Each structure stands twice: as C-alpha cells, then as structure tokens.
Amino acid sequence: MLRASEAVPLGQGLSADNAQACLHQAIRPFNTQTLTAAVQAAGRLPDRLAVVVPAGVFTTPIEWTAIAAAAGTAVHLKAPSRDPALCRRLAECFVAQGLSVTWSDQRTLPKVDAIVALGSDETVQAIASAHPDLPVARYGHRFSVAFIGGSAARAAGPLALDVARYDTRGCLAPTGVFTTGDPSELVAQLIPMMQRMEQLTPRGDVEPALGPEWRRRLGIARILGQVATGAGWAVTVSPPEHFVPQALPRMVNIHPVRDTDHLRQILAPWQDHLSTLGTDDSAVEIPGILRTSALGWMQAPTIPRKHDGRPMLSDLRCAPGGT
C-alpha cells in the first residue's frame, strides 16, 4: 500500500521524481527475512512504543515502525508538526493490515512503555527529561562525510546519487567530500553526473534561509579553490579548514587532504557526532565513524542495520509493559 502511494504529498518539499525514488528505496530492503533478522537483533521490545519523528528525511519512520510492528509492538508516531503527511499515511497502511499504529502531531504522547527520540541534541534530551520513568533511546545530531582515494571517474556517479537522495538532507548525507586525488578531476567528472541526477530526480524546494550559507561557500571556493554550478546543483573545492559539518541541498563540497591521517585530524573535533563514511576504500578507519558504506549507498542502508552504532531498537530491551 505504501509503495503505491503518491509520494509528492509525503515528500516534505522534494520533487515528484526524487520523492518517489526515495520512497521506493526506503521500502526496498524489507521482506520477511530482513524483518525477522531485525526483530531478532532488537531483542525483546516493549508492548507500546512512541517514535518521535523529526522533519527532513520524510521516510525516517518507515523502518522503525516496520521493525517494531513486526515484533508485535503497538507504535505511536509523534509526527513533525510542520509536515505530518508520511506519518499519517504510514499509520493508515499499517492499520489496514491489522497492526496497531497511531499518529499525532501533538507533543503530548499517549501511555507508552518506551520512546525512540530522533532530532537535535536539545530535542532528544528534552524528551528524555520529560519522561524520566521511561526508557528513551536518544538519537541526536550526527553527520556523514565521504572520502575518495581512487578513481574520480568511478566515484563521481555514486557520489552524485548520494548527494541527490533527499536533496542531501539528514544524518546520512555527505556534508563534505575529502579526497587525496586531484580535486579538479573530481569536479570535471561530477559535472555531468550532477546534471544527470538533476534530470532524473530534480532538486525540490529550498529553504530561503539557506541562501546566505550557499553564497558564502561559493564565495570562499571562488577565491581559494574552484566552483562549478548548474540548475539545482553546485560543486565547490576549498581548503579543508573551511569544512562545515552541514549539508546544503545538492551542493558537493570537496576538500583536498594529504592522506587519511590528515582526514582524521580534520574530523577529530566532531568525533562524537560522526555517523557514516561513504568511501571507495573500505580499509579507511576514522575514529568516531559508526558505519562505513560504499559510495552510492550512504543514504540507502540495508536491513537489519545499526543506527548510531546500535542495532535498531536494541536499546529498548525491557519486558512487556516496561517493567
């Protein structure tokens, strides 16, 4: 049912083609075998679970709800107030299959035995503080990066796909691309790939508030590096000291590094906030990285999987009823 849904009303501003592609990609990993494995990895789950869903990556609640519901848990989705459409539709689909899934965009939660809280560090801490008697799995702010040590020609296409998915939103999107190769060659290879992604899955709505930061990064790159732009996308090259751990929609920020030790030094200040490393070199190890992914799969993880280094829902190991 969800796969057949019209994705545009659910996509939180993504274009029609991108929303549909992201929806199908989010559903793709689920089947009887993967769900069974995910439930087993989670362990014993509570009878009633609330999932606090952030805005941004519209498909976020799908996997949490699917795994919990498959385990027999009743799920309540606290939807993002500014766009609750996916949570509403998700609940409708699960209820039609006889499963207990409810939703609301109100802050007050129904009686539950545990909470999964996703969002900013401040948000998840506030939720935990407001429910001191409940197990609360807190998933705060994290970000991802990419590293390319080999062929720019082979890396460009998969990297462009990572950037295009969800318009570079969410903790699995590449905020920066570090390379020991020739950054000009990577730019040259990325240009046709970014153009192609714009044709296949165009960029959607962009918040006006992002405009100043977009222009700032272009300005730095024009002075200190290189810039290539097109309709709906940009590629910049700038020194690594100008790395910012925040993605902008369809902007690839390339930063040359001497070697992987140099990369570790750059990322060290954010070690506690790292999520995924997308790379063409699976041997690279970065302290704090919780998941290493092939390029092209940063925003398309498999099921079962770990989230913030833990099997999904595994930190809600409590007996039924929360006792």
8 Å CB contact between 108 and 78 = no
pLDDT at 315: 82
Distance of CA 221 to the CA centre of its chain: 26
Sequence-separated contacts (24+) of 89-92 with Cβ below 8 Å: 89/2, 89/5, 89/10, 90/2, 90/61, 90/62, 90/65, 92/1
Strands (E), the chain: 48-52, 74-78, 101-104, 114-118, 136-139, 143-148, 174-179, 226-230, 233-237, 251-256, 274-279, 291-294, 306-307, 310-311
Gap between the Cα atoms of 120 and 139, Å rounded: 8
Domain ranges of the chain: 8-140+308-322, 143-294
pLDDT at 317: 60
Gap between the Cα atoms of 57 and 59, Å rounded: 6
Q: What would the pLDDT profile of 19-65 be if each residue is shown by its tens digit?
A: 999 999 999 999 999 999 999 999 999 999 999 999 999 999 999 99
Domain 8-140+308-322 falls under CATH 3.40.605.10: yes
pTM of the model: 0.94
pLDDT at 179: 98
8 Å CB contact between 93 and 103 = no
pLDDT at 150: 96
Ordered mean pLDDT values, 10 residues apiece, the chain (323 residues) = 90 97 96 96 95 96 97 97 95 97 96 96 96 94 97 98 98 98 98 98 97 98 98 97 98 98 98 97 96 97 93 73 34
> Which is the CATH superfamily of the domain at 143-294?
Aldehyde Dehydrogenase; Chain A, domain 2 (3.40.309.10)
Q: What would the pLDDT profile of 204-233 be if each residue is shown by its tens digit?
A: 999 999 999 999 999 999 999 999 999 999
